Structure 1
């Protein structure tokens, strides 16, 4: 983070310990400055950690509800108009909720409407509002921005919860599905196949097919790379 909270907190603790050992008035005055520094530094982050506690569910299942990892990863958050760096976070894509770790170890659920974006593990998730940032029929929530140019490619990453019985125990499964959207003009179009992606750019179909072939990109095996390559190539061709 931009503020060295832990260091300042340690200084205040040391000052407080010194006061306890000596018990003098002079020592009490010495503690006032580092404590004031700590309060000033943490005042900026109090809003970030002022959320409801999040409880991890299905924590005994092999599969999980989080994006990519069950473990904490540091990332960047733009929250309530303020940027915070190196924040331990988890993204529950089943519920579309962002969780951060408090200094004391608690799991804090952030208010989604206050999260403009967050970046973690080379992914850039932006919150889009239906009818405002995206089409009316699309769901409000976090979208992973894969490509940003004259056109844009985003993906809605979701998980569905399923159950199976193993040795009389209920096991939760979380298969993931990725829904891709390409913005052309002022509208987003869902794409799930090579044909649907190429049909958005009929005037450059031949060139786009050639790029995929030359780079040996198989759409079915790597849809994400194929779609980004198609959109990026279209933007370059459209400039000519």
Structure 2
């Protein structure tokens, strides 16, 4: 089956190469081709349809769900077993660190947990997440939001997670979720946990004053949007 898929894909790519106007970029052609290939050959052509079904019976309060940003599916891209898929309905369960897909041709209610070991990366809400599989045991493995700092070899990795709490209200049991974030910085080919100012200053001792000034000037942002605060801080320290 995979051999037939590759042959069909080669023919389609060749046709696009010969007939597509030059005004379209190579990246646009690639996206269009993969979209056509996935939709016309059906879900059976995709390699990720053998995951387990995703079920969620949470009774939540205050709209504090287990998912990244929203409990709705969002259009995104994924690299799975080295293969790119575009315009896929994705949802990220950050409580279980589980990426979920809703197949093109299946029922609206069918949701599949992707096999994490086979997921290389995905993009949702214009943010890129990578699967950090081979990292030191002292760090959590799994999906991290990746922020490349300018054109440097420095990258910020953000681990989104949520803690679950049971809440009793009107004689019923509900669940509530509280977000938590861990930050890893890749600098000089080494990953370091930077969850507080002290750890950041250790990495940038000559910029202690600059770091203190940033914390002082951005106290409100740190309270309302910790992730954006950290992204801006790392860019500021590295002059980007």
> Normalised by the size of structure 1, how large is the TM-score?
0.73
1:186 aligned partner: 189
Q: For the Cα contact (< 8 Å) 2:48–2:115, is it kept in 1?
A: no
Mapped contact 2:35–2:86 kept (Cα < 8 A): no
Q: Give the structure 2 partner of residue 203 of structure 1.
A: 206
**Aligned partners of 2:169 and 2:157: how far apart in 1?**
37
Aligned length: 200
**1:98 deviation in Å?**
0.6
Query: 218-227 vs 173-182, which deviates more?
Result: 218-227
- Deviation of 1:93 after TM superposition, in Å, equals 0.7
Counterparts of 1:7-22 in structure 2, within 5 Å, are: none
Q: Deviations over 1:5-59 (max 9, x none)?
A: 69x7xxxxxxxxxxxxxxxxxxxxxxxxxxxxx4xx3378431223221112215
Q: 2:66 aligns to what SS in structure 1?
A: coil
Alignment of 1:163-174 (within 5 A): 163-174=166-177
Q: Displacement, 1:211? A: 5.8
Which of residues 2, 12, 35 in structure 2 aligns to 1:3?
A: 35
| CA offsets 1:180-217 (integer angstroms, 9 cap, x no match) | 1212223222222333322310022234445666xx43
> Is the 1:212–1:229 Cα contact (8 Å) retained in structure 2?
no
Match of 2:180 in 1: 177
Aligned equivalents of 1:111 and 1:217: distance in 2? 39
Q: Is the 8 A contact 1:181 1:191 kept in 2?
A: yes
Distance in 2 (alpha carbons) for counterparts of 1:93 and 1:174: 10
Listed as ranges, the gaps of 5+ residues in structure 2 are 1-30
The 3 A distance-change label for structure 1 pair 5 and 86 is: same
Name the residue aligned to 1:118: 122
Cα 1:162–1:104 shift into 2, 3 Å: same
Q: After TM superposition, give the deviation of residue 101 of structure 1 in Å.
A: 0.6
Contact 1:217 1:225 (C-alpha < 8 Å) held by counterparts? no
5+ residue gaps, structure 1: 9-37
Q: Distance in 2 between matches of 1:53 and 1:84?
A: 20
Report the RMSD for the aligned CA atoms in angstroms.
2.6
Match of 2:163 among 160, 163, 166: 160
Offset at residue 236 of structure 1 (A): 4.2
1:127 pairs with one of 116, 126, 131: 131
TM-score, with length taken from structure 2: 0.73
Q: Which residue of the partner structure matches residue 66 of structure 1?
A: 67
